[in-house]
Amino acid sequence: MARTRKDIERRRTLAQVREIRGLDRAAHFSAGGTLEAWRGRHLVEIDRLREERRMTCRRRRIDEE
């Protein structure tokens, strides 16, 4: 696979972001921050319609047995 200018620029940008993120992490912990605060909140919302359909299917299978 040939390396394009876009690929090279993307890799440089990602490397810079990693460096900045590492410095942010070091500053956070040196200021007395906790690991829980660094990770942040876990916000995953389920697709209610998909979950409802999935559970309907499961209930139907249990009723048939």
Q: For residue range 14-62, what is the model confidence (pLDDT) as tens digits?
A: 999 999 999 999 999 999 999 989 888 877 888 899 989 888 888 776 6
CA–CA separation, 41 and 55 (whole Å): 27
Residue 46 has a pLDDT of: 85
CA–CA separation, 36 and 30 (whole Å): 15
User: What tokens appear for 13 in the block?
Assistant: 């940008």
Residue 43 has a pLDDT of: 79
Residue 3 has a pLDDT of: 82
User: What tokens appear for 3 in the block?
Assistant: 């390396």
Sequence spans of domains, the chain? 5-64
Residue 2 has a pLDDT of: 65
